Structure 1
Amino acid sequence: MFMKSMTCNQLGGACDKVFRAETFEEISEMSKKHGMKMFQKGDKPHLKAMENMKKQMKSPEDMKHWFEQKRKEFEALPNN
């Protein structure tokens, strides 16, 4: 089983929490769940990061482009 790691920061978040997964879809889902948890806690740094992402992703094309860039970053990472 080959795993890759990305941090919350690398995925547009606000902390150094590390996510490990085999696929970008898995790591994306982990990041999303973490973001929801931080949102529910009212974590200010994460709320600010979410606001910044919202500004960047005004259209479906922007969102698609962002995901493709992050997918490329993930795929370029070494397995660990």
Structure 2
Amino acid sequence: MKTMTCKQLGGVCDLAFSAETFEEIVTQSKIHGMQMFQLQDPQHMAAMAKVQALMANPQAMQEFMDAKRAEFDALP
């Protein structure tokens, strides 16, 4: 089991997500993001805007995801 925080995934808080795979971590992060969107948390909304800007550029988004996957894979 590996753990990454919201902050490590481009967010702003220290909420930890634990899973066996990077895909599971991403799913947990998305759920957290939806919760923060519903609450209209200003800090999370700003972080989500940055990720949305990345999504406009598929190559940049792929590089971002590859970097986060590599960080996950390097965890003990």
Please classify the TM superposition score into its range, dividing by the shorter chain length.
over 0.9
> Aligned-pair distance for 1:62?
1.2
After superposition, the C-alpha distances for 1:12-57 in whole angstroms (9 at most, x for unaligned) are 1110000000000000010011001100110111001111222334
Higher helix share: 2
Partner amino acid for 1:48? A
Match of 2:20 in 1: 22
Mapped partners of 2:31, 2:54: distance in 1 = 20
- Secondary structure in 1 aligned to 2:25? helix
The structure with higher relative contact order (CA 8 Å, sep 6+) is 1
Match of 1:44 in 2: 42
Partner amino acid for 1:7? T
Give % identity. 54
TM-score, reference length from structure 2: 0.93
Structure 2 unmatched runs, 5+? none
Root-mean-square deviation (CA, aligned residues, Å) is 0.9
Mapped partners of 2:46, 2:57: distance in 1 = 19
Structure 1 unmatched runs, 5+? none
Paired residue total? 76
